Amino acid sequence: MTLSDFKALLLTADPAMSKYSGAKDGNYTVWRPGSFDGLNGDGKIIEPLARIYVDRFTKSDFDPVVSAIDGTLQGSDEIIVNEHITDYETDTKYIHHSWTCEVI
């Protein structure tokens, strides 16, 4: 899966999503690529992996986009969700959902 493929898939969950930064007013989703690694098998890189971070900032406890993003990420055979963390940011009053993914 390329980064373009990942972006296209994620846009099905949130068509307003953007790369790196969001509107910062209202609910918004951003994503950013992280490091590129590989799976080692006998000292060889057999499949490239890209780490990708997805963040949803919402003021709603029951934001349907959170479920859509989670379902989209969990539903792909080419994406491994390593972590989904939910945090509350007291300064902005946003609920922050953060996914760390590995993409094959």
Domain layout of the chain by residue ranges: 3-103
Averaged pLDDT for residues 51-71 = 96
Percent of the chain with pLDDT over 70: 87
**Residue recorded with tokens 């307003």:** 16
pLDDT tens digits, one per residue of 11-35: 999 999 999 988 767 899 999 998 7
- pLDDT for residue 2: 84
Domain 3-103: CATH architecture, name and number where available: 2-Layer Sandwich (3.30)
- pLDDT for residue 3: 87
Percent of the chain with pLDDT over 90: 70
- pLDDT for residue 76: 95
- pLDDT for residue 64: 97
For CA atoms 7, 34, 24, 95, the dihedral sign is positive
pLDDT tens digits, one per residue of 34-60: 876 665 556 665 565 789 999 999 999
36 CB-near residues (< 8 Å, 6+ apart): 48, 49, 50, 51
Quote the mean pLDDT of the chain: 89
β-strand pairing of 28-41 with 18-19: parallel
SS (H, E, C) 35-103: EEEEEEECCEEEEEEEEEEEEEEECCCCCHHHHHHHHHHHCCCCEEEEEEEEEEECCCCEEEEEEEEEE
- pTM of the predicted model over 0.75: yes
